[in-house]
Structure 1
Amino acid sequence: MQPLWLDVFRRPAVVPVRRFDRTLWTSRRVAAADAQADRISVATYNIWCDGTHAEQRYRTIARLLSEHTPDIMMFQEVTETARRVLLEQSWIRERYYSAAVTGGYAGNYGMVLLSRPPVTEVTYTGLPTQRSRGYLTARYRIGGHTLTVVGIHLESGKTAVQLRDRQLREIVGSVRDDRDAVILGDFNLRDAENGILPAGYCDVWPALRPGEPGFTEDTTINHMRYDMEDRHRHVRFDRVLVKGDTWIPESIELVGREPISAALPRVFPSDHFGLRCVLRRR
């Protein structure tokens, strides 16, 4: 099968940045601003595009994230329904900028950025892929330093090892000149593929929680994920990578490890767990 993307779709495309204005989300050109922060929190969540209890799951994800209100959130597998549910949350409308690539050529593999600090530019770049994959890049000015945050969703499947390697090399190359960068999202990497992780980046989970597996797909806990294929799976697909001298990883935790309700004990917010990570200024 040939890669889905043509060259025209693989050039970075500017994504409108929107802010909620009383009754609707409107495009807003964000003036270059130097946000001040000693700590920033980032989150990534593959929220599963399947329609199973979709709205209930998405609302649960929104509620879980509202307990910590991460500064920068990246979501994968965002459908139009998921985007609507996220953007109708009052706490998101009041505090966040949004940038979304959903529907159309993204299909069920849409991506959404929600950001409290002003974001100077957001772009979306398609990857060589058979599954509508790409990456969302957001650039910030925080405390006098530029920070680039890249949300990614690499190809899935055991047979796609070489394609994932190519995709990741392309993403890393896109920020090679950036001093400080965070790459987070669904890497779809198994432990045997850890050798393709880029030099110079800190893989935050094993750095801060050595000895803890950090599985983001874990059928021992997530019965919904087990029921999907009737077999066990324990993998750390979702990751946060950090490079540079300005921001030091301080903490990282899993999100969404409980059923969405007592009435639905085998339904979880997603087939993945999310990640929330706090970075501290050096």
Structure 2
Amino acid sequence: MGIASRTLKILSYNVSFREDLEMDKRMEAIGDLIQLHSPDLICFQEVTSRSYCIFQQSRWWKLYRCSVTEKPTYRQYFCLQLSKLAVKSYIRKPFNNSIMGRVLCVAEVEVQADMPLVVASSHLESPCPKWDKMFSKERVDQAKEALNFLKKDVNVIFCGDMNWDEELDGQFPLPEGWVDAWVQYRPGENGWTFDTKSNQMLSGNWPLQKRLDRFVCNLRDFKIRRIDMVGMEAIPGLSYCKKKLIDMEALPGLSYCKKKGKNKKLMVPVLPSDHYGLLLTICIK
């Protein structure tokens, strides 16, 4: 089936670097989502050397072309792009101001003649409350730097974990002609991809409900069909004990497991990641 007669799907997913939290089974669950939705392009954030190796050994991996030849090294949290389409060019551009080594990944993929499509992804600077550093200025500057770099292209999708918080960062700095896919096509829905209430794996954390992950687009020859959230279901039969960070009662369906003394830990389900993934569907106009 030719591209002109079907849709294109792009998946963006922060897969969580937590190697101590059922890494193998979580990455297998993400692989199940890939096989279910069959995205044409995948943009991962927080890939580690271990999760990279798990992906490489998965059945779905051979269906994709990996945009990079090197693999993540120890304690490096990598942005990774994969494509079923031919990749005409690929750039990894470090941000000028990143303390955390964050980069902009840009791939031009071959859709059809005279119809270029650029898919860019990143993991913008993360807030660090423990350091008393929220890195809002760095994050805003990185968003502007990325969009300025991409402005020359006529069909652009920029996605990833933007770590964006309107209360700290203001409105995302979209140039004229760009749209935020969730705002445009799911109006009235919160779109929280990091949600300590609905993602029970995060139960016991400090409350946080934010739309950290986003797709922003500037498309001349394509149109957005839909955007969906994925990875919202717990992995069947899998749970773990975690430290209860805040004083709260167990949510329905959860139970506590006791340690020696007065300390308690919370028994919670395991989801594919602490973030939900986003799946964007586009088609030619």
* TM > 0.5: yes
**SS in structure 1 opposite 2:135?**
helix
User: Structure 1 unaligned runs (5+)?
Assistant: 1-33
1:36, CA displacement in angstroms? Answer: 5.3
1:254, CA displacement in angstroms? Answer: 0.7
Partner of 2:123: 153
Give the AA of the match of 1:89.
Answer: S
**SS in structure 1 opposite 2:140?**
helix
**Number of residues of Structure 1 aligned to a counterpart in Structure 2:** 245
Are positions 1:69 and 2:38 aligned together?
yes
Q: Considering only aligned residues, what root-mean-square deviation do their CA atoms show, in Å?
A: 1.9
> What is the aligned-residue identity percentage?
26
Partner of 1:226: 203
Question: For the pair shown, which has the larger CA radius of gyration, 1 or 2?
Answer: 2
**SS in structure 2 opposite 1:221?**
coil
1:118 maps to which of 86, 99, 106? 86
Partner of 1:42: 10
CA distance in 1 between partners of 2:3 and 2:86 (Å): 7
Are positions 1:277 and 2:264 aligned together?
no
Q: 1:108 to 1:222 in 2, by over 3 A?
A: farther
Deviations 1:53-96 (A, max 9, x none): 11111111111121011000000000011111112122221x21
Deviations 1:149-193 (A, max 9, x none): 101110011721110111111111111111110000000001333
Partner of 1:22: none
**SS in structure 2 opposite 1:163?**
helix
Deviations 1:23-75 (A, max 9, x none): xxxxxxxxxxx965642110100000011111111111111121011000000
Pairing of 1:49-198 with structure 2 (within 5 A)? 49-51=17-19, 52-93=21-62, 95-100=63-68, 102-104=71-73, 107-127=75-95, 128-144=97-113, 145-157=115-127, 159-192=134-167, 193-198=169-174
User: Structure 2 unaligned runs (5+)?
Assistant: 128-132, 240-267
Q: Does the CA contact (< 8 Å) of 1:37 and 1:142 recur in 2?
A: no
TM-score (norm 1): 0.82
Q: Does the CA contact (< 8 Å) of 1:102 and 1:111 recur in 2?
A: no
Partner of 1:256: 231
TM-score (norm 2): 0.81
